[in-house]
Structures are given as C-alpha cells and as structure tokens.
A and B are shown apart, each in its own frame.
Chain A
Amino acid sequence: MSEPVIDAAGVVKFLGHGAGRVQALRGVNLSLAGGELVLLMGPSGSGKTTLLSIMGCLMTPSEGTLRVCGRNITDLDPEALAGIRRDHIGFVFQSYHLFPTLTAEDNVRLALDVRGERSQRKAAREVLAMVGLGHKTRSFPSELSGGEQQRVAIARAIVGKPSAILADEPTGALDTENGKAIMTLLADIARDPSRGVLVVTHDPRILPFASRIVHIEDGRLVREELGAAKSVAKA
C-alpha cells in the first residue's frame, strides 16, 4: 500500500461551547492511503461526519495531528486550510451541492477556477465524459437525474486530480442502480495508487466496493475489517 495521503493521529474534537460542549471524537487514528477505498460506518451521532470534516480539512482537531500528503495541517488558518483542500482533496456530498444556475460543465470548471487554472473547458469535458455525461455538459442540474447530478459532483471532485476523495453518503439519495453506478465510479478512482477514497455511509449495499471498512461509535474507532475489494485494489 502507498504512503497515507491523509493521516489522522490521536484526533480529539470538541464541538459546541459551555454546557452544550460535547466530545465528538475521542482519540481517533485513521489513515487513508492511495489506491484504497475506505468505508467509514457507524450509527448517527457516532462522529463520522466530524471525522470526515477533519480529514477533509474543513475543521481542525482540538487535539492530535492531521497530516495531508505529509504536511501537518493541525495549526493552519482557514485560508491555508482552503489551500490544502484546493490542492489535495475532492468532495462528494450526499445532496450533491451543485450550483443550480450553472451548467454541468461550469459546475466542474468551478473546481479548476478556484485554483486559478486555465484550459478548464477541455478538462471539464474530459472528466464529464469519464463519468458518462459527455452528452450532458450543457445541462443544468435541474435537468439531470439524481444519479447524473452525483456524477457531475464526482467529476467536480476529481477534475483537479486530488490525492483524496472524501464522500459523504454519496448514495444516500440514490436508488440501488444509481448507487451502484456511483460506487463503481468511486471504486475505479480508488484503483489509482496515488488516490485514496474515503466514504462515510450507512448504506450496506456499498460494502462490496470497499477495500477496508472502519466502524466508529461514540467518537472512537471500534473495529476495522478488510473489504471485498481488497484484492482488486491491490491488483
């Protein structure tokens, strides 16, 4: 397995203030390596989303360290964290979070535009073709099905060639067929040894796509198991 693209060590996270303060994570160690698709599973309130936020540099840990591509980002300010996300991380969200006023192509281009990259149109079209939407580049999100919208979101996540793709319930709003198609895409991305995919999910239908499954409860990782796709990933 490759070096970890994201490595969380002893991560503790407190949320809220005063009487409402809760400890969401209690000393979590989790790494995501290139070439693997890791599922993070657990019940509601277990700390999955908080851990994903920290591993995605959307939050900083209260204690512990987080390294992204070898760089310790624990004490970075919000602007520097945005820079880390821009350069190394792609996100896929449950509710897609596409821009309703932009076409599929422009939604994908945004990920390059925030990096200040040129030649965005060609790259966006190539990635949309890769996710099977080469014929819908000019469609607006409202003209696309849920599965298609999630594919656009995946295209947006991968167009910048990030080291890690973090997906939050990517199949949560999709039917079985579309969910399978989306997970196939994510699993294909994870075949690249330079990229790791971390998926937070409740959905047992996607277990066959995982190379590793991590279970979290009450802010602690309680169990880890190899997934069915382990051999595929290694191959």
Chain B
Amino acid sequence: MSLLRFRLAYRNLFHDRLRFIATIVGIVFSIVLVTVQAGLYVGFRRMVTTMIDHSPADLWIMPAGTKCFEDPSLLDDRQRFRALAIDGVVEATPLVIGYAQWRLPSGTTTPVFIVGSELQGFGLRPWNLIGGRVEDLSIPAAVAIDQSYFERLGINATGANAEIRDQRVEVAAVTKGIRSFTTTPYVFAGVDRARAYTGIPANKASYFLVRVSRDADAGKVRRQLRESLTDVEVLTAAEFRNRSRNFWLFGTGAGAALFAGALLGLIVGTVIVAQTLYASTKDHLSEFATLRAIGSSGTYIYMVIVWQALLSAIIGFCGAAAISWIVAAMTADSALAVVVTPAMTLALFVLTGAMCVASAVAAIVKVMRIDPAMVLAR
C-alpha cells in the first residue's frame, strides 16, 4: 500500500476541520443509533427467551397454538401420564404460569407473573440468587422475586410479606437480573403454590418439561409424543425459543420498529458521510485532475477517496463504540437492556466501514467524470 496515498487521504480529510468534525459527529450519531437499536434487539431476544434458556427441558409439551412462553393455556395431567409412558421419557414435570395480583402491605395491587415449578429435581427454578436458597421456597407461602422489583412490590428484603389472591406470601429468596420485558415482575414459587396463586386446577399445568433419557433418540421420542398426545405441540427448546422470538419480535411489530430505527441510523450515516466526501472531493477536484494529468490510474484516485471514507469510519466508529459501551453499562439493569457484545461490535465496525465506503460512491462517480485537461484551463 502506498503511504503517500494514505497521507494525501488523511490530509484532505483533516484539511477542513470543521467539516471533518461534522462528519465524525454524523457517523457517531448514526452508529450509536444503529448500536442501540441492535443492542435493544439482542437484549429483547435474550429477555423473551430467558425462561426457556434457563429451563433444563429437552422437550416442551404445550397446548397447541402456544405462541410464546407467556401465552397461558392449560394442559391436562393425563397428557403428562401418557408422556411418561413413552420409552425414553425420564421425566415430565408440570410448569405453571399465569398472571396474578400482588397486594402490597399498603393495600394497593400490582400485576405479577407467576412461574411455578418443581423445586426439587427437574424443573424451572429461579437462578442468580442473591438472597435465600431454592430450598427455602419449599416452606409454605414462600416465593422468590427479583431485587429490581422491590420497590414495585413494596418489598425491601427477604422475609417481607404480601398477598396474592388473598393468600399470604413471604419473600424467601431474591434473584438478580431476572427481568421481564413486559415489565410485569416474575414471582417464582412451587408448582402447587403457583396453581393456588393463579387459580389453575390441581390437575392442570401450562407446560410439561420433558427430560429424555441419554440413551434414547430425542427425535424418536418427540415423534412418539406427538403421536400419543392430542391437542398439544412438542417442541425442542430451540424451536420454542424461535417461536417466542418470532412472536414478540415480528408478531407484535416490536422487531420491525427496532429494524426501522437501525435502518434509519444507517441511512442518516450514509447520507452524512456521502455528502461530506462529495463536498471534499469537489473541493479537491483540481488536485484529483492534477493527479490524473500526471498519469495516475483511476484506481489510485479512487483509493484516496476510499481511504478518506475508511479513516472517517475508523475514527467515527471508535467514538460510537465508546458511547455505545457506556449506554450498555447504564442500561444493564434496566427493564430492557442495550446488550453490546464483542461480536456485535465487530459486526458494527464492518458495517461502519461498508457504510462509509458505500458513501464514497458519489465522490468516485464525480472523479470518474473528471477531465484532466481542466488543469490547463486554470
């Protein structure tokens, strides 16, 4: 690579500092916008499947037509017994979910989302405990909540009391970072308590979590479950995860909004960089014509412009990445975190470079039309 070409590029770029700063601000704004949208998307993806991600189930048995984890319909316990009768099914434990009203000691109520599962053995139990133990949930009326909802639920420590469906509950365990994207607090309890809090009959459940024997063929077990059970669906964790994501991201329009925001950021960034490069190229047109007159190839000149674009991209991206990481840190404990991963950062770097190079097209087209004889006319 020619260092002189690079030097010409960066000096052209820095020559007009005000314009350069405007370009960098534009790129930073654009990339931060894209990062935030992409980060929200990733955070959203994680959040809508957090329960599925933390479940040990190989297979999920659910009522036919279930759209996502939070879609409460009921299965009959007989289905569970049929499932257990199939070779290869080691366990099929009930999981109960549902909305309920949490009554604060002050008398006011707030909706909560109950998650009830077997507390010993195979089940969906709370994780990231920072207070109490899972075993503590075995005592009567014990529940676990996330510390981020303390204020909403009128709780300040383990041992605090409230009511759900006119039944006393005691916070026996506290988790950290188990937040619901619907903003309705999760309340973990044993499966029987969960039935009591949601009004679900004792012979009903929302899901059956299936553990398949290590020796068994999971695909075959799944086929047999589908044949044996009626009005249910049997999904792997990955399939259920995808279904939940598709429902929340695309079925509700939330994903489209995030994509639209990211796309807007990209368009704004591309236009800003394109405008700057075009103006810069126009300012230096006689220099490019001189280069052409002294015999430079078209590629040589295009590379000067592309270097200008890439330099803008690198500098702009560094600023944007720093701001994005700060945003990610600030929102880590919020209802909807902006999640910035190293892979996403790398992808955004490539995207920024591509955006800036694409922005160079207008400038390159301008240079392609340059008449080297113009240097003689001046």
Contact = CB atoms under 8 A, between A and B. Distances in A.
A211 to B, nearest CB: 23
Contacts of A109: 4
18 contacts: A56-B293, A58-B371, A58-B372, A78-B298, A82-B292, A82-B295, A89-B295, A91-B293, A97-B293, A101-B12, A102-B11, A109-B4, A111-B294, A113-B5, A114-B291, A114-B300, A156-B294, A168-B376
B2 interface: yes
6 closest Cβ pairs, A-B complex: A86-B295, A101-B11, A114-B296, A85-B295, A58-B373, A97-B290
With a 10 A CB-CB cut-off, give which of A90, A111, A113 has the most chain B CB atoms: A113
A95 interface: yes
With a 10 A CB-CB cut-off, give which of B7, B11, B286, B378 has the most chain A CB atoms: B7
Contacts of B15: 100-101
Given A102-B7, A106-B4, A113-B4, A85 B294 contact: yes
B271 interface: no
B291 A110 contact: yes
B322 interface: no
A86 B297 CA distance: 9
Contacts of A168: 376
Contacts of B7: 102, 106
Nearest to B374: A58
Interface string A109-123: 111011110001000
A185 interface: no
Interface in B263-290: 286-287, 290
B377 interface: yes
B297 A82 contact: yes
Interface of B: 2, 4-5, 7-8, 11-12, 15, 286-287, 290-298, 300, 371-373, 375-378
A207 to B, nearest CB: 22
Given A99-B287, A106-B4, A53 B295 contact: no
A109 B7 CA distance: 12
Contacts of B378: 93-95, 97
A53 B296 CA distance: 16
B57 to A, nearest CB: 64
A234 B310 CA distance: 54
A95 to B, nearest CB: 5
A114 B292 CA distance: 9
A83 B295 contact: yes
Contact of B287 (A59, A87, A89, A97): A97
A85 B293 contact: yes
A49 interface: yes
Nearest to A101: B11
A67 to B, nearest CB: 18
A79 interface: yes
Contacts of B295: 82-87, 89, 111, 114-115
B150 to A, nearest CB: 60
B163 to A, nearest CB: 75
Contacts of A83: 295, 297
Given A97-B287, A114-B291, 10 more contacts: A82-B292, A82-B372, A83-B295, A91-B293, A93-B375, A99-B287, A101-B12, A101-B15, A106-B8, A114-B295
B311 to A, nearest CB: 14
A79 B301 CA distance: 12
A111 B294 CA distance: 7
A93 B287 CA distance: 12
B8 A99 contact: yes
A52 interface: yes
Nearest to B15: A101
A58 B293 contact: yes
Interface in A41-91: 49, 52-53, 56, 58-59, 78-79, 82-87, 89-91
